[in-house]
Amino acid sequence: MNEAEAVRLDIWLWRARFFRTRGLATDHVKRKGARLSRAGQTRRTDKPGATISIGDIVTIGRGEHIRTVEILSLGERRGPAEEAQALYRLLESGPS
């Protein structure tokens, strides 16, 4: 897996606008963790530097909200909301 095919979890969460800053994404993953699924294997991680790639499934919880998304693109920057929403497909969502 080369750099163009993978990105750090915290950077992707920030680019996809799940968090306002990269620091908040980093802190959330360290404190609360995330669930990553790849090729049928699911693992829990509390490492913001965990690498993710297209096709992976990420589950994060924020308060009562649990979001499970499939990664469609890694993105190259933190762009407008429309660009961020194109990075993933929502699979399931907890209470809103």
Residue 3 has pLDDT above 60, yes or no: no
Domains of the chain plus CATH, in order, are: 3-93 (3.10.290.10)
Cα distance from N-terminal residue to C-terminal residue, the chain: 36
pLDDT at 92: 73
Residues 30, 71: Cα–Cα separation, whole Å: 20
Q: What predicted TM-score, i.e. pTM, was given to this entire model?
A: 0.90
Identify the pLDDT of residue 55.
Answer: 96
CB 11 within 8 A of CB 3: no
Q: For 64-90, write each residue's pLDDT tens digit.
A: 889 999 999 999 999 999 999 999 999
pLDDT of residue 64: 86
pLDDT digits (tens, 9 = 90+) for 13-52: 999 999 999 999 999 999 999 999 999 999 999 999 999 9
